[in-house]
Chains A and B, each alone.
Chain A
Amino acid sequence: MEDEALLERILGGDHDAFRDLVERYQMSLVRLARYYVKSEASAEDVAQDTWIAVMQGLERFEGRSSFKTWLFRIAANRARKTGTREYRVVTVDPVDPVSSARFNEGGMWNEAPVPFTELINDKLANAGVLEACRNAIRDLPEPQQSVVTLRDVEGLSTREVSDLLELSEANTRVLLHRGRAKIRETLEETLTGGRSWQ
């Protein structure tokens, strides 16, 4: 069910619709909050405050932005007020997304990568690949984890992500790149056993 349909039902007092919405976004809200605050417990408090603000503000929500954008803005504002983030300036080093050992001296692949699409289609049935992907995202260090969660899991634009996390768009893209590269690497190990190039 789309967010907007859930919101209609929530406005009518439907508890189950509210539960569905919480389950849909809680994980990403906590991750976003965690970017700004020091502990998991504080991040969960920020998420709870965000939901209360949503309940109180829902009747006034006019849909000029998507619900998702509105929700994450509320969470980011609350997290900023709560948080004392120690790394205001995020330093971003140049990226080497694939280990140099995979390339020869001329910069060509020693062993060509195998396309994922067919492997994933074969393996999706057992859900192991999705689980590996979820774990890989969870294992990313901050701020990569927040960037990947907001951009690739939630599908916000790079511009929105950089606003929420107070990063430049260029840095957001570098962090996104690095996070995606790590997830790709994990998936490659999961899908091919990582044997062909070792």
Chain B
Amino acid sequence: MTRDITCHQAVALVSDYLEGALARRDRRRLERHLADCGACSAYLDQMRATIALSGSVGPEDLSNEAVARLVDVFEKYQREKSGESPN
């Protein structure tokens, strides 16, 4: 019996598989299924690519005011600090 889990069951294991969090028995079952199933291997590729893409999402456009306000706070803090210790 090469396929002891279905595709539907396999996709439910993929995220934990990529996290290295599957119990050994489930990992073996999934790997056996993947070795034999191009469709689920494609799904695994989709999940890997999804995770990689999430990792390359840069910062969203931040409002300039929010950043400028924080930089003002930083400048003020620097001035106060140098005022406290004139070295």
Residue pair A97, B46 in contact (C-beta under 8 Å): no
Residue pair B7, A158 in contact (C-beta under 8 Å): no
Q: Taking chain A's interface residues, is the majority helix, strand, or loop, or is none over half, making it mixed?
A: helix
Residue pair B54, A117 in contact (C-beta under 8 Å): no
Set of chain A residues within 8 Å of B12, measured between Cβ atoms: 95-97
Q: What string of 1s and 0s marks CB contacts (under 8 Å) between A14-40 and chain B?
A: 010011001111110000000000000
Residue pair A116, B54 in contact (C-beta under 8 Å): no
* Among candidates B40, B46, B71, B73, residue contacting A187 with C-beta atoms closer than 8 Å: B46
Interface residue? A46 (CB, 8 A): no
* Among candidates B21, B54, B67, residue contacting A148 with C-beta atoms closer than 8 Å: B54
- Whole-angstrom CA separation of A134 from B15 in the bound complex: 19
Interface residue? B8 (CB, 8 A): yes
Chain B, interface size category, equals 35 or more
Set of chain A residues within 8 Å of B23, measured between Cβ atoms: none
Chain A, interface size category, equals 35 or more
Which of A18, A44, A56 neighbours the largest number of chain B CB atoms within 10 Å of its CB?
A18
Give the interface of B toward A (CB within 8 A). 6-9, 11-12, 14-16, 19, 21, 38-43, 45-51, 53-60, 62, 66-67, 69-71, 73-75, 77-78, 82
Give the interface of A toward B (CB within 8 A). 13, 15, 18-19, 22-27, 44, 48, 51-52, 55-56, 95-98, 100, 103, 106-109, 112-117, 120, 129-130, 133-134, 137-138, 148, 152-153, 155, 158, 173, 176-177, 180-181, 183-184, 187-188
* Supplied contacts A113-B42, A133-B57, A153-B55, 11 more A-B pairs, CB within 8 Å: A22-B71, A26-B66, A44-B66, A48-B73, A52-B77, A97-B12, A106-B6, A107-B8, A108-B8, A133-B50, A183-B54
